[in-house]
Amino acid sequence: MRPLIPFAGIALFVVAWHVVVITTGAPLVPTPGQAALAIGELAQKGLLFKYVVASLFRVTWGYLLALVVAVPMGVMLGMSPLAQSALNPYLQILRPISPLAWIPIAILWFGVGDLSAVFLIFLSSFFPLALAAMQAVQSVEPVHLASGRNFGLSRLQLLRHVVFPAVLPQLIVGMRIALGIAWLVVVAAEMIAVNSGLGFLIVDARNAGNRYDLVVAGMVLIGAIGVVLDLMMRRLERFDFVRWGYAEP
């Protein structure tokens, strides 16, 4: 019965949504059935697959680039107090700036297109990943590092056999958070900087005849894909080399 609880909650939400719309008679808010028909319309026109793939394409590249750059940098900052003293202030200054504030600069540098969106996603993912990696390294027990050095491990071997296994559980949590932020940012970026994707769908549907059924359909798709992405990241926590870092339920 426990696995059915989330589906029961979704069903209750859909019923409540339908009842509220019918009861209030809100002319601009579609019912769940109308939103579902709008999704079917998108699929029939071939736009559903196109827009979903466009959004996932931008998130994938921006997120992976951030992962490749931010994690090694965060590990380096965590391992080297000198590097942390030199670079951490810049991270703390830039981190609070909303990625959306970079939209004018992104358009100026890369124009209106995929590169602008990928750049914004890179920025939105970079800082959470770098800070998560740095904090994870700093939380490694000093005795573990000392033991590795006593066994004659080189710096590279210490990173591979001691630091990386120790930081992986915390790092995966940071990766989940960063991916969620990246998915939020791509939708916002697509409303301004590109002419395809789910964010563009919402703005285009609003501007082209007030198609609020398509607007809500886009919102539903964004939420559903976000849940799937998070579930995929959570599956990483089930691997044996990661599970040790989580408390048993």
Arithmetic mean of pLDDT, 131-160 = 76
Cα(167)–Cα(191) distance, integer angstroms: 36
Q: Give the model's pLDDT for residue 235.
A: 80
**pLDDT at residue 160 in the model:** 75
Q: In angstroms, rounded to a whole number, what is the distance separating the alpha carbons of residues 130 and 65?
A: 12
For the entire predicted model, the pTM comes to 0.84
For range 28-38, the mean pLDDT: 85
Q: Dihedral through CA 186, CA 187, CA 191, CA 194, nearest 10?
A: 40
pLDDT of 61 over the 90 cut = yes
**34-38, 72-76, 126-130, 230-234 — which one is most confidently predicted on average?**
126-130
- Over 90: is that where the pLDDT of 68 sits? yes
From 164, 175, 162, 181, select the one nearest 237 (Cα to Cα). Answer: 175
Band (pLDDT 50/70/90 cuts) for residue 88 is confident
- Confidence grade of residue 247 (pLDDT, cut at 50, 70, 90): very low
Burial class of 108 by CB neighbour count within 10 A (0 to 12, 13 to 18, 19+): exposed
Q: Reply yes or no on whether the pLDDT at 93 is more than 70.
A: yes
Q: What is the mean pLDDT of residues 169-177?
A: 86
Higher pLDDT, 155 or 189: 189
Does pLDDT of 246 surpass 50? no
CA distances from 190 to 18, 176, 199, 208 (A): 29, 21, 5, 16
Q: Is the pLDDT of residue 8 over 90?
A: no
Distance of alpha carbon 79 from alpha carbon 56, whole angstroms: 34
Contacts of 88 (CB under 8 A, 6+ apart): 77, 134
For position 239, what pLDDT does the model report? 64
Q: What residue ranges do the domains of the chain occupy?
A: 34-243
Q: What pLDDT score was predicted for residue 3?
A: 66
pLDDT of residue 6: 67
pLDDT digits (tens, 9 = 90+) for 188-227: 888 877 788 888 888 888 777 678 888 888 899 999 999 9
Superfamily of segment(s) 34-243: MetI-like (1.10.3720.10)
- Residues of the chain above pLDDT 70, percent: 89
- Kindly tell me if the per-residue pLDDT of 245 is higher than 60: no
